[in-house]
Structure 1
Amino acid sequence: MSSGNMLAIFYFLLEGIGNTLLVTFTCFLSAFLFGLTVAVLRRLSPLPLQKILDVLVFILRGIPILIAVFLVYFGLPSIGIYVSPLVAMNLSVGLISGSYLAEVFRGALKLVEPYEITVAKVAGMR
């Protein structure tokens, strides 16, 4: 192989690393925000909304990621919503990963006892 081919391959690898980091960051950010929002809403909302969110998390956790990507990327254009591949990946992976994070955050919020919140307020914590 000539050095020109190796240099071209190196540039493709650098571009791929950049795209990978972009997808990783955006999917993590959307999953974190979705998971935290759902966990807090499940903790603080009335019972009917809690049950709806429970069903939503249960359904999203049961969908394989590849199926979700295909549904978003090929399904949304069939109803007139056109998205880029990055948005389709971000939406599908973010929702599914966010549902797993919602369970993690729910467990963490459940461990904080009500008296601990009262003690923290008395101690001056906000």
Structure 2
Amino acid sequence: MSVELLKTSLSILLQGLVTTLLLSVAAIVGSTLIGLFAAVLRSFGPWGTGRVARLYTELFRGTPVLITLMFIYFGVSYFGYAIDVFAAGVIGLSVYQGAYIAEIFRSGIESVPKGQWEVSQILGLTRPQAFSFVVLPQTGKIVLPPLVGQYLSLIKDTSIVSMIGMSELMHGGQAIVDRIGKPVEIYGLVALIYFAVCFPLSQWVRHHDRRRLS
């Protein structure tokens, strides 16, 4: 790959990287909120809401993320409404990844000893207060490593959003290949950029696990 081609390609890919990072951050926030809400419903909600939350997690964990993105982007248009491709990407990834994050949170909540609830009641805390101030902080420590691992999966899933036309990192690489060819070099460069984003997070997870187990 020539220096000029490298400069041109990097400029386009870095623009796509900015979009990828914005999409990732927005979807991480959205999926975390959805996942936590679904986990609370599964663990504490009335019978009906718990069943709905379980159906949600099972449905989206059993279908490809591309189907979710297509359904949201084209399904909204089918009903006569327009949706921005970025918004469709954020909603699609949030809803899809939220199903996996819900299971992570649910496992963490159930890992907190039952005695914590009893102590909270003795101290006069209501059930919502006990969850917010006693159980949830402990849950956060338990679920942090698998949660970050799921965030890594989400970041890589942003590449699929190019299928609905978003000009993110993968879409930028595809545009360069369509114009000048050299798929091995260009996709290799895209892979290196994804690696540069994800590797520090994966190393942090390993380091955190070693410290927790030591």
- Shorter-chain TM range is 0.7 to 0.9
Q: Letter of the aligned partner of 1:85 in structure 2? A: V
Q: Give the CA deviation at 1:22.
A: 0.7
User: What do residues 67-125 of structure 1 show as CA deviations (whole Å, max 9, x unaligned)?
Assistant: 11111111110102211111111111111100000011011111123312333564x99
Runs of 4 or more, structure 1, over 2 Å off, are: 5-11, 117-122
Which residues in structure 2 correspond to 1:94-113 (within 5 Å)? 94-113=94-113
Tell me how far apart the structure 1 counterparts of residues 119 and 89 of structure 2 sit (CA, whole Å).
43
Q: Give the CA deviation at 1:33.
A: 0.7
Tell me how far apart the structure 2 counterparts of residues 18 and 84 of structure 1 sit (CA, whole Å).
17
What RMSD in Å do the two structures reach over aligned CA positions? 2.2
TM-score (norm 2): 0.52
Alignment correspondent of 2:70 = 70
Q: Letter of the aligned partner of 2:105 in structure 1? A: F
Tell me how far apart the structure 2 counterparts of residues 6 and 103 of structure 1 sit (CA, whole Å).
42
Tell me how far apart the structure 1 counterparts of residues 21 and 59 of structure 2 sit (CA, whole Å).
28
Query: Secondary structure at the residue paired with 2:50?
Result: helix
Residues 108-117 or 88-97, more deviating: 108-117
Higher relative contact order, structure no. (Cα contacts within 8 Å, ≥ 6 residues apart): 1
Q: Letter of the aligned partner of 1:70 in structure 2? A: M
Q: Give the CA deviation at 1:17.
A: 1.4
Tell me how far apart the structure 1 counterparts of residues 11 and 76 of structure 2 sit (CA, whole Å).
33
Query: Secondary structure at the residue paired with 1:83?
Result: coil
Tell me how far apart the structure 2 counterparts of residues 51 and 8 of structure 1 sit (CA, whole Å).
52
**Does 1:57 pair with 2:81?**
no
TM-score (norm 1): 0.85
Count of residue pairs brought into register by the alignment? 124
Alignment correspondent of 1:85 = 85
The share of aligned pairs that are identical, in percent, is 26
Tell me how far apart the structure 2 counterparts of residues 105 and 48 of structure 1 sit (CA, whole Å).
20
